[in-house]
Amino acid sequence: MAIHAYDLLKPLCDQMLPALAGVLAKAEADAKARGIPEDVLLGSRLAPNMFACARQVQIATDIVKGGFARLAGQQSPSWPDDEASFAELQARVHKTIDYIGTFSRGQFDDAAGRDIELKFPGATFNFTGERYLLNFVVPNFYFHITTGYAILRHNGVGLGKADYLGG
């Protein structure tokens, strides 16, 4: 069964990005109710060598905006990673939702066979569009959303599976 890249990625984002915004809103309310400074929760991590909660959200949104751009043959926009509150992270998630809303299905017609190169300090990765979507974008998106959720849950925010999955 062949799945069009847009038909896989867009519904996934339509579900998970609003859910992420909801998780952040619930965490913001919880921090206020318990008198916990937001930077404590946003700076929390599951292990000393892992990124903190705020960075997990930034990476999740970067993965998706980069995925949409690259699969459509465009350059991914660069956004500063300077969010320091739940409200600012929610705004980033909504900015991501707005950005991916600018794409049409037709822009992804050739996505599966498109050559995609990702350069990181010390490493370069080359993918076909299909492998990039299935082996990089989707798993990384879920990983960083899940890790952010787990950090908040671990710190006592009253979250459940319905929050993670959204409406």
Query: Do residues 152 and 27 touch, judged by C-beta distance below 8 A?
Result: yes
How high is the pLDDT of residue 3?
83
118: enclosing H helix or E strand: strand 115-120
- The pTM (predicted TM-score) of the whole model is 0.96
59-111: per-residue pLDDT in tens?
999 999 999 999 999 999 999 999 999 999 999 999 999 999 999 999 999 99
Which residue, 81, 76, 78, 32, is CA-closest to 53?
A: 81
State the CB neighbour count (10 A cutoff) for residue 32.
11
Mean pLDDT confidence for 125-145: 97
Mean pLDDT confidence for 125-151: 97
Residue 167 pLDDT more than 80? no
CA dist., res. 162 & res. 120, Å (int): 35
What CATH topology corresponds to 5-165? Answer: Four Helix Bundle (Hemerythrin (Met), subunit A) (1.20.120)
Residues 6+ positions from 90 with CB-CB distance below 8 Å: 21, 24, 25, 28
Please give the structure tokens belonging to residue 142: 């879920």
Identify the band that residue 2 occupies on the pLDDT scale cut at 50, 70 and 90.
Answer: confident
Task: Identify the sign of the CA torsion 143, 64, 104, 24.
Answer: positive
Residue 50 pLDDT more than 90? yes
The SS3 of residue 77 is coil
